[in-house]
Amino acid sequence: MCGRFAITLPPEAMAQLFEAVPGNDLPVVPNYNVCPTNQVHGVVSAEGRHRLTAMRWGFLPHWYKTTGDGPLLINARAETIAEKPAFRTAARERRCLIPASGFYEWTKDGDGNRLPWYIHRTDGAPIAFAGVWQDWERDGTQLTTCAIVTTGANGTMSRIHHRMPVVLAPGDWAKWLGEEGRGAAALMVAAPEEALTMHRVDPAVNSNRASGERLIAPVEA
């Protein structure tokens, strides 16, 4: 799964990287501890151009009467996304890229303590998660919401967890966004093992209130 990540790239750099028109309500960066229900950056393809826009991380199906009306859908499993009522239309029609600098996963030691790891691209480049999005409205509240697509872990990630987010290579961004015809389903696979690396980080990130660059600094494993 993916339950926490970091984004340090300035909005203008994200806009340049994804050739996108930035919105005027984008989340503040850097954020080294992006948590579920936070606002995140999403790249969508609309009217022949890319748009960089704010989205709530936590997909809200149209039948939810409130934001807490059902499970918090921060991830969508690649294996079932085309079948699940919450995601199947979005998987066909509303796919997005979710920029990140890296993401966190946890293992446990012999005493049950949660040990955080920070995972990022080996080449240091930004990550683009595969995502799906949905507009939701109730009683005058309007939200654009999203979920990150996950798949089975590659060999690197499997050392610490059995699942991982779908990390898209730049050459696949257009296809995921629906700009190059069919074939997006084939992209929902694990990134090559050599694409990602990881290191242990301080347990301070276990708190969703923690912040700052120290959260991604390596510590001795």
Ordered by start, the domain boundaries in the chain are 5-216
| Rounded distance between C-alpha atoms, residue 54 and residue 77, angstroms | 22
Instruction: Give the whole-number percent of the chain exceeding pLDDT 90.
Output: 95
Amino acid at 35: C
Numbers of helices and strands, H then E, in the chain: 3, 13
To the nearest whole number, what is the mean pLDDT of the chain?
Answer: 96
Q: What is the pLDDT of residue 181?
A: 81
Assigned fold of 5-216: hypothetical protein yedk fold (3.90.1680)
Q: Is the pLDDT of residue 152 over 80?
A: yes
| Rounded distance between C-alpha atoms, residue 177 and residue 52, angstroms | 13
Q: Would you list the DSSP string of 3-32?
A: --EEE-S-HHHHHHHTTEEEPSSPPPS-EE
Per-residue pLDDT tens for 109-147? 999 999 999 999 999 999 999 999 999 999 889 999 999
Per-residue pLDDT tens for 185-221? 999 999 999 999 999 999 999 999 999 999 999 998 7
Locate all alpha helices (DSSP H) within 66-185, ordered by sequence.
88-93, 173-176
- Radius of gyration of the chain measured on its C-alpha atoms: 17
Evaluate if pTM is beyond 0.95.
yes
| Own/partner pairs, 106-110, CB within 8 angstroms, 24+ separation | 106/160, 106/161, 106/206, 107/160, 107/161
Amino acid at 37: T
Please give the structure tokens belonging to residue 10. Answer: 């300035």
Q: What is the pLDDT of residue 36?
A: 98
